[in-house]
Structure 1
Amino acid sequence: MILVLRALGVGDLATAVPALRGLRAAFPGETLSLAAPARLTPLILSVGAVDRIVPAAELEPLDAAPDRPRLAVNLHGSGPESHRRLQALHPGELWAFASRAAGHHDGPGWLDDEHEVRRWCRLIRYYGVACDESDLDLLVPAADVPAGVTIIHPGAESAARRWPPDRFASVARRLVTAGHQVLVTGSQQEHDLCVRVTALAGLPASAAPCTGLTELAALVAAARLVICGDTGIAHLATAYRTPSVVLFGPVSPARCGPPADRPYHRPLWHGTHSARGDLPGPVHPALLTITPEEVLTATTKALQDHRPSPTAVSPPS
């Protein structure tokens, strides 16, 4: 059995898809288990590479994982904490970045400013497994959602990555005037923020629907456009080749942005360096320099550059 650790969020899972598929292709006869949050199950099923999901929170021991997997693969972090979580299972082999603190001296060195997709592909290539960094598409889950809407997603995990609600509302108002059907999405914890944006934009309460991950993924796949901050839904837009405008603040799109060869994904960033994206406190200054007018211009360009392509549909079971 192969056990892979990636106990993070939506965007983190999406950036590991090429590496997961590389592992699946390299070990076709093995059971591939993924230790990840159970809430990501609909998205994990859409990867099409995982046989078993091991529920796992970010910092907790892997109590539900089987002991002594033949191979453990750390697609979670640089160590030492994540390395030790896998070492505690006594795997036959551990594939991970080199970590002196964890006593793991094999593996490539960690590069702070590397793009997340490239990082995990580089790791498994080090161990002889082929990986296609462009293999980012996800299967569309079965859900009854409207097609052709423009999604505005104002939330993000950290305050530093949240563009102000009034600016999102300004963009929403002008898009509605231009003929867009706008929906404002967010997690259950972000619903009050979504309601605030719809109210500022003069939209009805129905424009802020409550959606689970299955519905959100299907909605993005069928959408006309996604406008959001540097958060998980941006990676869903990439996975479903839906035009997007993504607003970056503390972290450069060179670290976690959409593929550079897809002009219909438009990253906006006015920063000068890469940094961690979980900074506490107010909105990052680089994010505040992005104006509604700049976002609207980027939406026009993203839609003009989009050439629709068929996306596979596979209802999760």
Structure 2
Amino acid sequence: MKYHDTPHQAIKVAGKLTRVKKIAILQAGAPGDFIFTLPALEALRHTYPRAEIVLLGQNWHAAFLRGRPSPIDRVVVVPACQDAHATDHRDLEWFFAHMQAEHFDLALQMQDGSRGISAFLLRLQARVTAGYDAPDGPQLDRSLPYTPFQHEILRWQEIAALVGAATETNSQPELIVMAKDLEESLRVVAADSCPLVVLHPGSDDPRGRWPGQHFAAVGDALAREGMRIVITGSEQESDLATQITRQMRASAQNVAGKLSYAGLCGLLSRCRLTIANDAAIQQLASCVGSATIGLYWCVNMLSGGPLNRLRHRPFISWQLDCPICGHNQLYERCGHLASLITDISSDEVINGAWELLRA
């Protein structure tokens, strides 16, 4: 059965399956990718309340979800995604043999529509497969064509709808913050009486990074009014965080590379405000209760921006041309990594921050 007319038609005609005891979800991506799938996973849990939902993911998924209430019952680490371990042919053959012995009723692909991902899903030998089809790859049982410029939360809800899961178009991801998350964050950022504001200047794509001096200006403005500034990031982004700390006149605590993903959840749950140019961090912060300001290139806003404005403010750059060579970046990169969001001013972000903090 194929659903290649439109997403809306697919959602309308795709039905719930019977006798579903076990569901595999292939989502072996980064933490931000997982956050975007949460509303779809909640919909699957609601639709198939007695089924076991097994996430095929990475080591970090297993550590993060261990003991944490979520739609996921169990995590199986995909060999090719184990941290710093090369995978040989025997690892994958062993993995697929064990997954086929699981006898999955459903297998859903929640990564992308590449040919390799579809082939991987089919090797699980589930009763029914669903996801995005690659034009030149093997076809899944229930599928949609992959399209760009769609919000990631809605994208995965459409995939869940292919197997009958009812979804809400305004779904906000939610995560349970655990005591261990807070304990880790408190070991790194001790409690005091000052309200916390997190600045997260990193981004996987340098073209979506707001200039460091702008982050520093915002941090100084908020520190002058009694906010405690903490700068977060990955270990690879520690130099960027150090640079901003040095640019600031006020003191700020640089914790880049010092927190696990669970510890970052704990820290963000303690924050009054999170300011980031990474859509995944903005979504994570909103998941755990922080107000947010997101700094977005227009395409990133379409795919990962906040779905409501009650406690979240996006600032958007509509610059499409590379500032170095003038090449339009909408459909094809030129290779330069210059920022495309420099035209967002620090003053408008400061004003947005005070609007949220006073609310």
> What's the TM-score once normalised by structure 2's chain length?
0.76
The total of aligned residue pairs comes to 303
Query: Using the alignment, how far apart are the partners of 1:17 and 1:8 within structure 2?
Result: 13
Distance in 1 of aligned mates of 2:263 and 2:330:
32
Q: State which drifts further: 177-186 or 145-154.
A: 145-154
Deviation at 1:30, TM superposition (A): 2.4
Asked whether the 8 Å contact 1:70–1:93 carries over to 2, the reply is: yes
Q: Which is worse superposed, 86-95 or 267-276?
A: 267-276
| 1:88 maps onto 2:137 in alignment | no
Cα offsets for 1:197-220 (capped at 9, x unmatched): 111113557443621111110111
| Mean Cα deviation higher: 159-168 or 213-222 | 159-168
Identity of aligned residues (%): 23
The residue aligned with 2:311 is 264
Paired residues of 1:226 and 1:243 also in contact (CA < 8 A) = yes
Matched, 1:10 2:10: no
Q: Which moved more, 1:207-216 or 1:155-164?
A: 207-216
Instruction: Pick the aligned partner of 2:72 from 50, 72, 75.
Output: 50
Decide whether the 8 Å contact of 2:108 with 2:159 is kept in 1: no
Unaligned ranges ≥5, structure 1: 306-317
Q: What is residue 224 of structure 1 aligned with on the other side?
A: 272
Q: 1:15 to 1:100 in 2, by over 3 A?
A: same
Aligned to 1:138: 175
For the residue of structure 2 that corresponds to 1:67, the secondary structure is helix
Flag the 1:279–1:215 CA change in 2: closer, same or farther, 3 A. Answer: farther
Query: Is the contact made by 2:228 and 2:252 (CA closer than 8 Å) also made in structure 1?
Result: no
Question: What residue is the counterpart of 1:301 in the other structure?
Answer: 355
8 Å CA contact retained: 1:163, 1:288: yes
Give the Å deviation of 1:223: 0.4
Alignment of 1:21-36 (within 5 A): 21-36=42-57
Distance 2:64 2:167 in 1: 20
The 8 Å contact of residues 152 and 227 in structure 1, kept in 2 or not, is answered as yes
Which of 239, 255, 258 is the matching residue for 1:208? 255
Bigger Cα displacement from structure 2, 201-210 vs 108-117: 201-210
**Per-residue Cα deviation, 1:151-176 (whole angstroms, up to 9, x for no partner):** 00111112112212222111111111
1:256-277 CA-partner distances (Å, limit 9, x unpaired): 1011x33321111121679589
Q: Quick one: distance in 1 between partners of 2:131 and 2:107?
A: 8
Residue type at the aligned position of 1:8: G
Match in the other structure for 1:120 = 156
Match for 1:243 among 268, 291, 295? 291
Give 1:53's aligned amino acid.
Answer: V
SS in 2 for 1:91: coil
Letter in structure 2 aligned against 1:196: Q
Runs of 4+ in 1 over 3 A off after TM superposition: 40-47, 56-66, 202-209, 272-281
Shift of residue 50, structure 1, vs aligned partner: 0.8
SS at match of 1:269: strand
TM-superposed deviation, 1:76: 0.7
In structure 2, relative to structure 1, the CA distance for the partners of 1:224 and 1:135 (3 Å cut) is: closer
What is the deviation of 1:140? 0.7
Q: Answer yes or no: is the 8 Å Cα contact 2:54–2:72 preserved in 1.
A: yes
CA distance in structure 2 between the partners assigned to 1:279 and 1:81 by the alignment = 26
CA–CA separation in structure 2 for the residues paired with 1:212 and 1:203: 26
1:183-202 pair list within 5 angstroms: 183-202=230-249
Quote the offset at 1:135 in angstroms. 4.4
**1-side partners of 2:54 and 2:330: how far apart?**
31
Per-residue displacement from partner, 1:95-124 (whole Å, max 9, x unpaired)? 112434223163233332221111111122
Aligned match of 1:173: 220
- Retained in 2: the 8 A contact 1:113–1:255? yes
Alpha-carbon distance in structure 1 between the residues aligned to 2:137 and 2:157: 22
Distance 1:270 1:206, change over 3 A: closer
**Aligned-partner SS, 1:226:** strand
8 Å Cα contact 1:33-1:52 kept in structure 2: yes
For 2:208 and 2:214, locate their aligned partners in 1 and report how far apart those are by CA, in whole Å: 14
| Structure 2 counterpart SS, 1:97 | strand
Q: CA deviation at 1:29?
A: 2.4
Q: CA 1:279 to 1:37, structure 2 compared with 1: closer, same or farther past 3 Å?
A: farther
- Looking at structure 1, the residues matched to 225 and 252 of structure 2 have their Cα atoms a distance apart, in angstroms, of 20
SS at match of 1:186: coil
Distance 1:122 1:158 in 2: 26
Structure 1 counterpart of 2:176, one-letter code: L
Greater Rg over alpha carbons, structure: 2
Distance in 1 separating the partners of 2:273 and 2:255? 16
Counterpart Cα distance in 1 of 2:199 and 2:63 = 22
Q: 1 CA distance for matches of 2:296 and 2:52?
A: 38
Partner residue in 1 for 2:18: none
Instruction: Kindly report which structure 2 residues correspond to 1:139-158, keeping only aligned pairs within 5 A, or say none.
Output: 139-142=176-179, 143-144=182-183, 145=186, 146=191, 148-158=195-205
Q: Aligned-pair distance for 1:26? A: 2.2
SS in 1 for 2:143: coil
